[in-house]
Chain A
């Protein structure tokens, strides 16, 4: 069981490294959005630092959408996905593994480069640790919800537009609590309530999303 999970993880990461540039696209997209913001709303430091938590989060959300199209579709087309049902590990675990590697490829780079993004938008220094913490808790939720949506749209021809419509209502709470936590710290308040709620969202998503994703994949593979 562990062997097939590790094999899948190794394969996914190796593919991501060999594709190189393609795997970096979400990160580049994140910075493209963040560079457009000061140009669009004006470079005033007061305005930018006020909207910084929200902008970093919206950019992270948009960046996470980019890699979703390739999450299950190539595997469906070449038949690898059907093999999951014959693997010695439960499919839910393989789905969770795939989502974990998706997070390593798209979520982790965003967290690593978030300090730079925060500097670009003049986020107050004392709010940075909390921003990183919300990204650490929140980006896995984005991967889980994104994986669910891409599994649901797998059987359709043009999935990508539909994908963003499905994801938008589901990620509203993540966005509210994450930016709420960062704004609270920037205003000198405690972010603990927001962080606690965000963590409970992560636990809920971890428990339920792989199940629903597996059910949706099964319907689309049949």
Chain B
């Protein structure tokens, strides 16, 4: 019974008006949650956590750098799942969502690269190094840009979205390969300092703000994803009746 209801609920999301309504309802809550967790996270990160014994205050950029790096990769995973759904079941709303996810993921990648090079200057003495993680993030950025460029090059938006979804999946196969190929090439970036299962090499007092910031980036991604999808839907369907009724007859 419940399974049936969930199934029907998901099928309904394929309908643009219902999807539109869901985005409209969820978006303010997500933005509010993002604002709250961002304020808490930044307060702890900037005022409560003691300075690092080696890097003093400059390590605090970690609280932006690490969550955006995670989100840049998690965003790709979300986009790939949407792409699979879009290609297999040909649901238009998931096509739109997959395409809306690419610029957000690209933005997180840029934030990660920018904060990383700002952090790298005092710590490593250079803005950029041809290191494994840096290079794979740069390649990830170009994959994101390729997806956006390919989608934008098509006049028929649906066709463009489906072709770009194929590229998303090709990129998904390629990302681990790129990651390991550059990993074995040269390395400067430190290893993972935090883990949720088992020992963490990071001090326990540094952890809570990081978790808040990770929650904040997840909420930001989701909120931006829903808003962007809704805008894209308005743009594509602007001549259709249902969207005119939603926005008032003046359009």
Contact = CB atoms under 8 A, between A and B. Distances in A.
B181 A197 contact: yes
A177 B166 contact: no
Nearest to B167: A152
Interface residues of B, number: 29
B139 A172 contact: yes
Nearest to B149: A162
Interface size, A (range): 20 to 34
Contacts of B145: 165
B191 to A, nearest CB: 20
Given A169-B171, A169-B174, A162 B153 contact: yes
Contacts of A159: 153
B154 interface: yes
Contacts, number: 75
Interface string A31-55: 0000000000000000000000000
B65 interface: no
B150 A173 contact: no
A66 interface: no
Interface string A151-178: 0110111110010011011101100110
A177 B159 CA distance: 35
Contact of A166 (B156, B162, B167, B177): B167
B91 interface: no
The 8 closest A-B pairs by CB, nearest first: A156-B153, A173-B181, A169-B142, A169-B139, A166-B146, A176-B181, A169-B143, A173-B177
Interface of A: 148, 152-153, 155-159, 162, 165-166, 168-170, 172-173, 176-177, 180, 197, 201, 204, 208, 212, 215-216, 219-220, 222
